[in-house]
Chains A and B, each alone.
Chain A
Amino acid sequence: MLHSDLDRASDESLAVITVIGADKPGIVAGITSVLAKYNVNIVDISQTVVRGIFSMIMIVDLSTGRIDLPKLREELIAKGRDLGVEVSVNHIAVFRAMQRV
């Protein structure tokens, strides 16, 4: 994903998903299946496992999706519960406000 592609996606429609929990098979598949179901595009993804703790950060674009942010959060938190991981979903404006001057 190039920076210019990110710029093109309207800021208003970007959300940041973070997933934290004990590592096990199926976490990425479980979370991305929810995104695919609602046609939400992943624009950036990073994933690490440190000492058995799984952590994934995704930036997604809701402009192509059939779901709004609060509803997506609800769905992902429910999915996270099934998978035994903690999921949080925030609008990208929160990160822009706090991490950029």
Chain B
Amino acid sequence: MPRIFAPEEIGEVVEMLLFQDLDIRSVTLGLSIQDCISHNVADSIGCVERKVGVYGEKLVKAVDKVANKYGVKIVTKRIALTPISIVLEAIAKNSIDKAVEAGIEIAKAIDRIATSIGIDYVGGYSAFVHKGFTHGDIAVIESFPDALASTQTIASMINAASTYTGINVDAVNTVSRKIVDLAHKTPKGIGCTRFAVMANAPEDNPFVPGAYHGLGEPETVVNVAVSGPGVIEAVIKRLGEKADMRTLHDYVKRAAFKITRLGELIGREVAKEIGAQFGIVDLSVAPSPKIGDSVARILEAMGLEVAGAPGSIAALYILVDAVKKGGAMATSSIGGLSGAFIPVSEDWGMTRAAMLGAITIDRLEAMMAVCNTGIDMVAIPGDTPPETIAALILDVMAVGIALDKALGVRIIPVPNAKPGDVVDFGGLLGSTVVMNVPRYDTKKFVERGGLIPPSIKRLDKG
């Protein structure tokens, strides 16, 4: 009796969904708000509010319907908007102060709507300043601490570096001071969990806080982020300790194929429901603070005592490379960051490793050579000087442009916290330990300001 699926095939999928936390991390609707550009503040706010409301409701309905139909959990629903700097441009030309006020008002209006209809995050409180500032960019940088402190769902990203143009050190310096401001405006500095500074931010990233709706995108687009570290950990454990590296890579690749296929199925169905174009699947396997949903535990399953131990870069390289190869076979719609995420507080195993001292800022900087994370969800002492934060950001930006890839910094200077203190951000943000930051003086270096030129790679691009 031929069967369409062998019982083992069905059993494997059901086990992944029920016991290995395989789910869709986010369905992110990219939404253009370029039509909301106006000299009139009230018109801009009304327009953005209306669009987020109408499309947000469609998104929530579609996601719930698809999750129910397929029996697959979709953890968050997000919206990514056109960078708000563009919307504020016309107002900022006349008065930066007015644009700052307008930005905060727009953020609050979006937040009200998002909260009322069940959208978890709205990305796009963003500006692109890798070569310099427009009036709108200045308004965004000036206002993001207040915009984030007075909302729950708004996410913000400043792109400060690009392979094409180099690194805007002035932007990094200003943003570093603003990160400290934001930390002081929110309990435990939690507002900083919704802010990142990035190099080479992709236009179709479904993950917050980096998500925004790029200028090359259509009116609306559905992008999907998958989760599934538990699936990969289970595959490696089942394979046992005797399998060699090539076999290990092959099994991870096969698991990544399956995870990505689920993402594409769900993304396409949600897009069809909404009547939007389907965009991309971000291949990154996103962790969560649950013990069985950790990227660090994948490295440990490969045979390391703890993530961060010598060998971690090689192990992470195997994971990222296998995920990309398996994912590339599974979908022709790749995009976003598509690497591996190791946000420290959001990953149970990363936080455990940080508590043991195996994961430090130095180790994260080494790991970013082979993944797309940078320094993510790292709590640092609240009295870390802005020039030290700026220097840390510059290091990550430099690796981003030297290796021509997207990298970010999401750092939380927790007020009054010392290295070793434990801080709980709650929910998916997790709890973590405050990391030590070397206190060597960096001031004279960062205060040179200006632009660090692009690398010689720029010339390959014509």
Contact = CB atoms under 8 A, between A and B. Distances in A.
A95 interface: yes
Contact of A16 (B10, B264, B265): B10
A62 to B, nearest CB: 11
Contacts, number: 74
B418 to A, nearest CB: 46
Contacts of A101: 329
Interface string A87-101: 011111111011101
A90 B13 contact: yes
Interface string A43-78: 010101000000101010000000001100100000
A69 to B, nearest CB: 6
B258 A99 contact: yes
* Dominant secondary structure of chain B at its interface with chain A: helix
A94 B262 contact: yes
B68 interface: yes
B445 interface: no
Interface stretch (B69-77, B84-92, B451-459): B69-77
Nearest to A73: B71
Nearest to A68: B69
B70 A18 contact: no
B7 interface: yes
A29 interface: no
A98 B261 contact: yes
Contacts of A57: 7, 10-11
B142 to A, nearest CB: 46
A94 B11 CA distance: 12
B138 to A, nearest CB: 46
B370 to A, nearest CB: 27
B69 A70 contact: yes
Given A1-B1, A6-B4, A98-B13, A86 B18 contact: yes
Given A2-B2, A88-B18, A97 B7 contact: no
Interface in A1-47: 1-3, 6, 16, 18, 44, 46
Interface of B: 1-5, 7, 9-14, 17-18, 68-72, 258, 261-262, 264-265, 329
